[in-house]
Chains A and B, each alone.
Chain A
C-alpha cells in the first residue's frame, strides 16, 4: 500500500527550485538581467521557506530527521542502502544539505553582485564597495559550476538507485507517496496553517531583502 512520504510544500519547493534554477541559468547566459534578479528572489523565497519548514514542517522534511553524522552514512552503506526510516536516507541527506548550503551561498552572493555594465545589481550590492561587489560577482559565477556538479551528482544518484537498486525516487517526489516496507512509519504531516505561516515569514524576509534591507542602507 502506498503511504505518504513527502508533503506538498516539500514537493512544490523541490520542483519550483528545478524550474527557477534552470531559468536563472538561461537568463544569466543570455544577459536577461532583470529577469535573473527576480528568479533569484524566487529562489531566495524558496530557500527561506525550506529552512523554516525544516524546523516546523512534516516529519520527513525536518532537519532533525535527516541531518546525521558520518557514522550513519557508513552504516547505511554497510546495510546495502537500506534505511529503516521514511524520508531522506543518510547519503541522500548529505546531498540535500550540500545543495541547500551551496544554493544559499549562491543566492547570498547574488544579492551583492552587479553586472559588469553596472546597470543591474543585487539588492544589497549598494551596501558594499564596488571592488567587493566585483569579487563577489566572480564567486557568484564560479560557484554556479559547483552547483551544476552537485546537481549532476544528485541526478546520477537517482539514476543509479533506479538502475542498480530498482528503486524509483522520482515518483514519490511527484506524488508524495511510496511503498513502504511493513512496519515503517510513514510521514507525520504538519498542518496547512504551519505551511502558510512559513510562507508568509519567508515572503516577508524576501521582501525586506528586495527593498535593500532597510534600515541598513542610509
Chain B
C-alpha cells in the first residue's frame, strides 16, 4: 500500500515535471520532448514496461516448450498425429519473430526475476543472430510440417532444437528454485 502510494506520488511529480518542460521543448525543436524520447527505439523501457515484457517473453518461452513437448510426444507415437504437429509448428513459427524484441536493454536480471543473462546485452549482435537463426529454423520446421513427411519433420525438428539450445546455452542462466 505504502509502495503503491509512493509510485503514484512519483508519477504525479514526474508528470508535473513534463508539463512544466513542455513549453520549453516546443520552443526549441532540437531537444526532443519527453514523449518522443520515450518512444525512441533505444530508450530504456520504464520499470513497468520492462516487467511486462519480461513476463510476456517468459510466457512465450513456456508456450514454445509446451508445443515442442507436444510435437516430441506425437513423434514418439507409432502413428504420429500430423495435424497436431502442423498446428504446433504454425504456433511456433508465428511466435518466433516476436521473441527478440522482448529483450531490450533494461530487462535483465538487475530489473526483475529472469534467467536472461547479462551477456545478452554485452553481445547484442550475436544474440540477434541467434534469434534470427531460431526464426529461420521455426519457419523451416513449419514448412516441413506442412509437407507431412515424417523424415523431413524429424530432421527439421532436430534443427529447431539446436537453434533453441544454441541461444539457451549461452544466454540463459540455470534454473534456480
Q: Mark B76-110, 1 if CB is under 8 A from A, else 0.
A: 11110000000000000000000000000000000
Chain B interface mostly helix, strand, loop or mixed? Answer: helix
**Does B168 belong to the interface (CB within 8 Å)?**
yes
Q: Kindly count the residue-residue contacts between A and B in the assembled complex, taking CB atoms under 8 Å apart.
A: 52
**Does B66 belong to the interface (CB within 8 Å)?**
yes
Q: Which residues of B contact A130 (CB under 8 A)?
A: 66, 69-70, 73
Report how far A118 CA is from B73 CA in the complex, Å: 9
**Does B72 belong to the interface (CB within 8 Å)?**
yes
Minimum CB–CB distance for A65 against chain B, Å: 41
**Does B169 belong to the interface (CB within 8 Å)?**
yes
Q: Which residues of B contact A126 (CB under 8 A)?
A: 72-73, 76-77
Q: Which residues of B contact A31 (CB under 8 A)?
A: 165, 169
- Contacting pair B77 A119 (CB below 8 A): no
**Does B65 belong to the interface (CB within 8 Å)?**
yes
**Does A205 belong to the interface (CB within 8 Å)?**
no
Of the listed residues A119, A121, A212, the one surrounded by the most CB atoms of chain B closer than 10 A to its CB is: A119
Whether A118 touches B76, Cβ cut-off 8 Å, given contacts A31-B169, A130-B66, is no
Whether A217 touches B164, Cβ cut-off 8 Å, given contacts A118-B68, A118-B72, is no
Report how far A80 CA is from B65 CA in the complex, Å: 56
Specify the chain B residue showing the minimal Cβ separation from A114.
B69
Minimum CB–CB distance for A115 against chain B, Å: 9
Q: Which residues of B contact A118 (CB under 8 A)?
A: 64-72
Q: Which residues of B contact A117 (CB under 8 A)?
A: 64-65, 68, 161, 164-165, 168
- Contacting pair A218 B77 (CB below 8 A): yes
**Does B175 belong to the interface (CB within 8 Å)?**
yes
Report how far A26 CA is from B60 CA in the complex, Å: 29
Minimum CB–CB distance for A209 against chain B, Å: 13
Minimum CB–CB distance for B155 against chain A, Å: 13
Question: Which of chain B's residues 139-158 have a Cβ closer than 8 Å to chain A?
Answer: 158
Q: Which residues of A contact B69 (CB under 8 A)?
A: 114, 118, 121, 125, 130, 133
Report how far A212 CA is from B72 CA in the complex, Å: 13
Specify the chain B residue showing the minimal Cβ separation from A127.
B73
Query: Could you give 6 example pairs across A and B, Cβ below 8 Å?
Result: A31-B169, A117-B165, A117-B168, A118-B71, A130-B70, A133-B69
Q: Which chain B residues have a beta carbon within 8 Å of chain A's beta carbons?
A: 64-73, 76-79, 158, 161, 164-165, 168-169, 174-175
Query: Which 3 residue pairs spanning A and B have beta carbons closest together?
Result: A118-B68, A119-B161, A118-B69
